[in-house]
Amino acid sequence: MLRWIRQQLGFDPPHQSDTRTVYVANRFPQNGHYIPQRFADNRIISSKYTVWNFVPKNMFEQFRRIANFYFLIIFLVQLMIDTPTSPITSGLPLFFVITVTAIKQGYEDWLRHKADNEVNGAPVFVVRSGSLVQTRSKNIRVGDIVRVAKDETFPVDLVLLSSDRADGTCHITTASLDGETNLKTHFSVPETSVCQSVSQLEALQAVVECQQPEADLYRFVGRITVIQHGEEIVRPLGPENLLLRGARLKNTKEIFGVAVYTGMESKMALNYKCKSQKRSAVEKSMNTFLIIYLVILLFEAILSTILKYAWQAEEKWNEPFYNQKTEQERNSSPILKFISDFLAFLVLYNFIIPISLYVTVEMQKFLGSFFIGWDLDLYHEESDQKAQVNTSDLNEELGQVEYVFTDKTGTLTENEMHFRECSIKGTKYREVNGKLLPEGMTDDSPDGSVAHLIGDEVLFLKAVSLCHTVQISYDQPDLPLGASDPFSHVNGFSSNHMEYYASSPDEKALVEATKRIGVAFTGSRGETMEINTFGKLEKYKLLHLLEFDANRRRMSVILQTPSGGTVLFTKGAESAILPFATSGEIEKTRLHVDEFALKGLRTLVVACRHFSPEEYMDVDKRLTAARTALQQREEKLQEAFDFIERDLQLLGATAVEDKLQDKVQETIEALRLAGIKVWVLTGDKHETAVSVSLSCGHFHRTMNILELLQQRSDNECAEQLRRLARRIKEDHVIQHGLVVDGASLSLALREHEKLFMEVCKNCSAVLCCRMAPLQKAKVVRLLKTSPEKPITLAIGDGANDVSMIQEAHVGIGIMGKEGRQAVRNSDYAIARFKFLAKLLLVHGHFYYIRIATLVQYFFYKNVCFITPQFLYQFFCLFSQQTLYDSVYLTLYNICFTSLPILVYSLFEQLVHPHVLQSKPCLYRDIRKNSLLSFRTFLYWTVLGFCHAFIFFFGSYILMGEDTTLMGNGQMFGNWTFGTLVFTVMVITVTLKIALETHFWTWMHHFVTWGSIAFYFIFSLFYGGIIWPFLHTQDMYFVFVQLLSSGSAWFAIIIIVIICLSPDVFKKVLYRHLQPTSTQKSQSLSAPPAQALSCMESLCCYQQGQSGCSRLASLLDQMTGHCKAGASNCHTSSRCNRSWSDTETFYSNDRSILTLSPIEGTRC
């Protein structure tokens, strides 16, 4: 803590310079002038709280919510001034809400602590005091030499010192960092690569100087100084020497490295992006409603205060004979008295703000999110992966999506490449049963591929099998002792147990294809690459590897052939190879590449260049100088690469197929029917992307395809956009599709956003190709911030999709083959694109209608609760007398009315899940936050006020004017009156949510009737016993006395019926006269012969007995839906609206939502 304070004050900056000096094995200089630099420890901290700061930090975060802060103020006011209600009435619900939320957040943070402890406590081996010592990951210090074994992850950022290989190289995968599943080769410097034992490492004297920590995964600049025989040898260090924390060691038995960046200073930790807090549309509406109710509260409090003083203007009411003022009250300040009265009324009416709304919503979201993980329809059996919820705050947003932005490779496709065709010297070939045959030929040669292949074809196959970074694993299967085959690795080649690890699925597919045809890559040993060409072993010496980068979009190898010559093989995108080719069938190959792309195949072009000894000496000199440069190394390497990769001889092109995922076309069509526009954002060339879009149904064959491609200036781009806009208006085509590339998109977004958006919004499908990751995020942001503010969803599987996923309102990660980066940064994760349909159309639909009703019902029941309290003040001279007992005030929201709405919000289903999937258009009924519109909110609010007036004045008519209701002639008092109002209110609001319920389970029955029963039982116990810990007991025997009156029972029944019957009639008439698509579809949940009439759907009981059949038939006759006396209007057959596994819809649906059949339960 002291060090942190010193750092904040600037006395102890964590890094005094722009570089850090790391002494290998912490062998510091012995002179007294050296002051060691301080570095972070190796603990990873992703948790939010500690034991010490949990309470203050959590309290601060919770009281930032307006409702919690408001109730805290009310509670403090109750403590400070004389208010009509006890502070417990506000304090207990507030304490309950704060406690439940704190427990939930504490549990989530405990899980983060648990995960951190697993990582920080993982066992690692370090070299200390001449031996290999096991310690915990958190104890690693900068400068420690760490040993990592095969398939282990690196616990810190390490500079590679040595490996078990003689050349000091190792292979790693960085899938958890950047999503790339390829094997990357890393190197150690020659002076340290020989130190392969602990004793040699202990004797090593070396110093690493490098830059301070930065987040860029692909940048590392440093140098290592090794002291040998008193001489200092300096070697440059780059990204190829740095092993990043989180990466995994592959195909290497063990490595030793020196820790340079630890803990939260490692590159992985610096790339932790703090996800911005996403807020759903429902939450924003909820806050708006809260402010409206706050205004209503202030209005009621001010009005009551004014009316109180207006009433007291008359002398007889100002100081009646039975309530004389004290001298202090007469002399008190009128302003202070006005403020005190205003605060007292504020406290009296404060329950109009539903404090338990937040905690109920959080519980609903948290518990409801489990249904996604439990849904067997979202489970992928092949990969054994179920749907995953990373944040439950956006469940209802799944029901509001208007735009879906999807990646192509790995999201719409399988990311499994299969070699299909190739072009060699202007001739197209295809693979048939392991043979390479020219187009048009059949597989009729009995002796395999050899007879068909001549020099050009063999050279092409050799180039493909040598120009790559593929690694081979020779992992043997478990065999019985003595059963191993001594000849399994003849010449280092095993066809049975050899597995390729490639830098991309394309590379793996190509190397496997050449192996099937007869030119097999059999591995590399040091600088030697071996291939088996139709049974003949050939060895090539790898002189230089020119790595792939996004700017050049190609990679190359320089090899020494078995005959002693030097050759360059290069492959890459056609735009990166063809401009530099000077010989070969360039035009024919270009034509073939375009044909392959139109078929939806991914293409690569292959070329070569032969060097004379003099040319190679110049090339070697340039490459060596660029790679050892300490300044501007990247620029010098680019210059050297451009010099080498020119004057190419074109060999041909390859075409691999990326297979579409299952049911992609059906999913996209379902989304389109639901009113959701789908945009595909991909890095592929536009011909390939268009072909895939057509094959997956994103583009239709009848669709008018518009293009915005290869725009080179702002003016050119603007003019093309105007032409497209005119064409859309002039063409009477139902649907348009737009194709735009990355370069044109950059120009469109720079100056012509509005014009571009106008064109896009008139297109039913948009395809963006050649997109960079940040461009994807910009497109999403453009739609998000447009005037209509549509809800966006982004879905992808790779690290390049993370920015897009985090930018969208809802981000979904695909558990694909490109690492877990997208999944970790997403809000939801699914195994296949096809699962998106059910996630939105079913789960999104259910979550939205549930939470929309929950929010509005909460405001409704609190209006019902507090309005009688306001009306009561007109009858008690605004004396701030409370209508309800303090215990009832406290328990109304916590106990008496909380469970029915919670169960409703977890299990309600307006329509059967199968119907929602088979009729995607039902999704349109809930778009644009329609169930939380101001009109709907106003209906619930007005309904609450109406019911409150009926509660109050219905009870008043019964008990007013000195009416005697007891058999002994006694009259009821004010507490009995308040209890009667409260009893009617609890029953009515509970039955109101029962009326809203369409899907009944045993839990609905239990909490609905149980809540009413609990209220009666509690009131009998509370008022029937003298409790010694209560100072006053105003309710003693009140409830028993109320229930002993037959008139009171009659009043309760009549008032409840008066309140609910208009609501019933409104629902019936609306379903008959103006039914929504959802209401029309509800009849599909039952067989046609047993379909319920509209009235029966509201008035129904268990065992199929309709209590309203006569009323229903009468209404049907009145509205002309059937003739009097018709048999279908007087149905007495049993109708079953429960949804069970025996129904005919989608029999393969195994959703957890349909595993609870309620046979015989109606509604």
The residues annotated with a catalytic role in the active site are 407
CB-based contact 39:265 (threshold 8 Å): yes
Phi and psi at residue 962, to the nearest 5°:
60, 40
Q: List all residues 6 or more positions away from 229 whose beta carbon is below 8 Å from its beta carbon.
A: none
Residue 1140: count of CB within 10 angstroms of its CB = 12
Sign, CA dihedral 1059-1061-1067-1070, equals: negative
CA-nearest of 1017, 958, 964 to 986 is 1017
Q: How far apart are CA 515 and CA 522, in angstroms?
A: 9
| DSSP letter string, 72-129 | HHHHHHHHHS--SS-THHHHHHHHHHHHHHHHHHHHHHHHHHHHHHHHHT-EEEEEET
Q: CA 364 → CA 167, 355, 902, 1024, distances in Å?
A: 59, 15, 7, 36
How far apart CA 139 and CA 149 sit, in angstroms, is 18
Written as one string, the DSSP assignment of 1018-1054 is HHHHHHHS--TT-S--TTTTHHHHHHT-HHHHHHHHH
CA dist 139 and 261 (Å) reads 13
Please answer whether residues 279 and 288 qualify as being in contact, where contact means their C-beta atoms are separated by less than 8 angstroms: no
Cα–Cα dist 348/1154, whole Å: 45
The H-or-E segment that residue 1040 falls in is helix 1038-1043
CB 532 within 8 A of CB 520: yes
894 secondary structure, DSSP code: I
Q: Is 958 helix (H, G, I), strand (E, B) or coil?
A: helix
Which residues 6+ apart lie within 8 Å of 149 measured at CB? 249, 253, 254
Find out whether 198 and 131 touch, Cβ atoms under 8 Å.
Answer: yes
Say whether 766 sits in a helix, a strand or coil: strand
Give CA separation, 922 vs 411, 462, 664, 791, in Å.
26, 57, 20, 17
Query: Would you call 521 helix, strand, or coil by DSSP?
Result: strand
Residue at token pair 């939380």 = 932
Strands 248-250 and 499-501: unpaired
Cβ atoms < 10 Å from Cβ of 295: 10
Amino acid at 199: S
DSSP, res 380: B
Per DSSP, 831 falls in state S
- The DSSP result for 387-436, as a single string, is -EES-STTGGGGGS--EEEE-STTTTEEEEEEEEEEEETTEEEEEETTEE
DSSP code of residue 709: -
Q: Where are the beta strands (DSSP E) in 478-575?
A: 499-501, 519-525, 528-533, 536-546, 554-560, 566-572
Q: By the 8 A CB rule, do 1095 and 1115 touch?
A: yes
Question: Token pair of 48, please?
Answer: 């939010």
In the chain, what's the furthest Cα-to-Cα distance? 124
Question: Cα–Cα distance between 313 and 479 in angstroms, integer?
Answer: 103
Separation of CA 270 from chain center: 21
Please report where in the chains the tokens 């009893």 appear, as a residue.
983
